[in-house]
Structure formats: C-alpha cells, structure tokens
Amino acid sequence: MPRNRYMVFLVFLTFFVMSLLTNILGPIVPDIISSFHVSLTAAGFLAFAFFIAYGVMSIPAGFLVERFTEKPVMILAFLAGTLGSLSFALLPEYRVAVASLFVIGAGMATLQVAINPLLRVSGGEEHYAFNSALAQLVFGSASFISPRIYSYLVLNLKNSSSSRNVFLRVLRRLTPTGRGYPCTGLSRSLPC
C-alpha cells in the first residue's frame, strides 16, 4: 500500500480520541466518589475495570483484525466506546459505571490493536518510528486537554451566561441535576 497522509491523519485523530477518553478517568473520579458516595477502593475499581479490559481484549482484538481487517474492527471499537458512554449517561449508577468503563476500555484496546499496524502500513514502514513517536505526542496532547475540557463543562453547565453556546444548552438539558454536575468535584464552590 502506498503512503497515505490522509490515513495517517485519521490514525493520529484516533490516538487523540483514545487519549481524551482514557484521561478523563482521573478528573471524573472525585465526582463519582461524591455523587455515588463510594469509597476510594470502589473508585479505584473503576479505573481497574477500564484498564483490565486492555488485558482481556488485546489478544481477541488481534484475531479480529486478522479475520476482518482494520476498518470494521475500528468501527466496532468506536461503537463499543459509544455504547459504553451512553449507558452510563442514561443510567448514572455505580454498577453501570463499572460495566460501561469496561466496555469503553475494551473498545479502546481494540482500537489500539487495529491502528498500530494501520499506522505502519499507511505511513510507510520506513517512517513508522517517526510516525509512532508523533502519534504518542498527539496522545499526550489530548491527555493534557482532556481534564481541561471536563473542567470547562463542569464549571459552565450551571452558568447561565453561557446560554449562547448551543452545545452547553443541550448538555444542560441532558445532565441530571440530582447527581454530579455541577454541584460536586471541580465546582464545589458554586452554590447548588
């Protein structure tokens, strides 16, 4: 396959999205602890559920890529991440959070297994080391941005001055007022 810069860009974008999802776990834990009144051990189990999915899903994901190629496996992985996220958004309970984080982690593990060979093929084998290092830079930049996006959302969901922002208005309607946002975590100083 000849080098395809568009495909390399899509792989970098996939690394960015993976990092956004992976690195939101840290900032979300204090809100989960206060919203669901769970111990630090139970909160640690959330991260465990996410990362154990990498161990469980990595080998089967390799078999899936060999059998079905990268594209359908990546679509399946994004679908798993979406379903995991929606399940927790629609049913905000601790048990659902554990299960949804496992499903999201399985999707991210599958994505990682699928995109690494795709990066080698689309960018050319002779440029794989450079492209791989650049992909890690993209991954790291998203890990820097992810907590900032979360804090922006938490701080601005209750702020009435952001009513011009359509995205925040939609999220404000979808966000349950009895749990989490915006009365916990990063926004504890705001009146509830």
CATH number at residue 18: 1.20.1250.20
The domain containing residue 79 runs over which residues?
5-146
Where residue 87 falls among pLDDT bands split at 50, 70, 90?
Answer: very high
100 assigned to some structural domain: yes
| pLDDT at site 1 | 56
Contact assessment for residue 26 and residue 144, using Cβ atoms and an 8 Å cutoff: no
166 pLDDT band, cuts 50/70/90, is: confident
In a domain, 189, yes or no: no
Look at residue 41 and tell me if it is in a domain. yes
Q: What's the CA gap between 192 and 190, in Å, rounded?
A: 6
Is 90 exceeded by the pLDDT of residue 58?
yes
Asked if the model's pLDDT at residue 107 lies above 80, the reply is yes
- The count of structural domains within the chain is 1
141 within some domain = yes
Q: What is the pLDDT of residue 119?
A: 92
* Run of H or E residues at 12: helix 5-22
Residue 108 predicted with pLDDT over 70? yes
CA torsion 78→81→87→89, rounded to 10°?
Answer: -100
| Percent of the chain surpassing pLDDT 70 | 88
In-domain check, residue 152: no
Is residue 128 in some structural domain?
yes
**CA 144 – CA 172 distance, rounded (Å):** 25
Mean pLDDT of the chain: 86
> CA-CA distance, 88 to 70, in Å (whole number)?
27
Residue 185 lies in a domain: no
Contact yes or no for 147/19 (Cβ under 8 A): no
Instruction: State the pLDDT at residue 170.
Output: 83
Confidence band, pLDDT 50/70/90 cuts, at residue 56:
very high
pLDDT band at 182 (very low <50, low <70, confident <90, very high): very low
